[in-house]
Amino acid sequence: YLGLTDEEAPGPVPDVPQPTSAEISFLLDTVNTALGTALSTADVRGAYAGLRPLIDTGEGRTADVSRNHAVVESESGVFSVIGGKLTEYRHMAQDVLDRAVRLRALSTAACRTRDLPLIGAPTNPGPQVPSAAALPASLVLRYGAEAPNVLASATCDRPGETVADGIDVTRAEFEYAISHEGALTVEDIVERRTRIGLVAHDRDRVHEVARELLDAAE
């Protein structure tokens, strides 16, 4: 994977951000110069872009703007988190709740977000599940200690079968995205839960399986 840290993106916010041809060319030129390779756009298997919300500090360049988040309160009393990084979502959630508790004098226990294990973490105090030792390594890598439940909860045919040759995602994972992760559309499964859609050719190959499992869940 190759990527830019960020580029300014003025104008209307798109529903599906896409990397520009200039950004792709810049990355290829940089890699070719640094590594002595001769990569071209024909070698690109997939590309994606995202939008990062930054707090407007008046700085001239986005590279100079802080990535820190802030908690603000509207005149109507609604608290919002602005800026920040996706990887700090728990820290941001704790900050906004702590501020709401403090300013509204709410009675509550101390926040335990910092020490609360994520779902699938080996230390999560959830129900006992079968061992993941015999499961595909890719499934365990994605779901951790929750991996056995992904297969155990599957009701589809051939749950352990991959959704396409060369793609290590199983049919059970597609079904799990629907039954446990709120996927409602093919795009939810392919683009947002499994990220298979980052490669256009792969997206096309798994579309039918995603549609089949969505229809079965209705």
- pLDDT by 10-residue block (mean), the chain, 218 residues: 80 87 94 96 90 79 80 95 90 93 91 85 65 82 92 96 97 98 98 92 96 96
Q: Is residue 56 part of a domain?
A: no
As a whole number of angstroms, the distance between CA 154 and CA 99 comes to 41
pTM of this structure? 0.77
Which residues sit opposite 123 in a β-bridge?
A: none
Q: For residues 153 and 201, state if they share a domain.
A: yes
Q: For residue 91, what are its two tokens?
A: 């820290």
- Expressed as residue numbers, the domain containing 25 is 1-51
pLDDT at 133: 67
pLDDT at 48: 87
pLDDT at 102: 93
Q: For residues 153 and 175, state if they share a domain.
A: yes
Contacts of 63 (CB under 8 A, 6+ apart): 5, 6
Number of domains observed in the structure of the chain: 3
211, burial (CB in 10 Å: exposed 0-12, middle 13-18, buried 19+): middle
pLDDT at 128: 54
| Single residue among 51, 77, 93 that ends a domain in this structure | 51
As a whole number of angstroms, the distance between CA 115 and CA 78 comes to 27
Q: For residues 176 and 204, state if they share a domain.
A: yes
pLDDT at 157: 97
pLDDT at 127: 55
| Single residue among 27, 51, 75 that ends a domain in this structure | 51
pLDDT at 187: 96
Contacts of 8 (CB under 8 A, 6+ apart): 61, 62
pLDDT at 67: 83
Q: Is residue 151 part of a domain?
A: yes
Q: For residues 47 and 72, state if they share a domain.
A: no
pLDDT at 186: 98
pLDDT at 125: 59
Tally the C-alpha atoms within 13 A of residue 145's C-alpha that lie toward its C-beta.
13
Q: For residues 37 and 70, state if they share a domain.
A: no
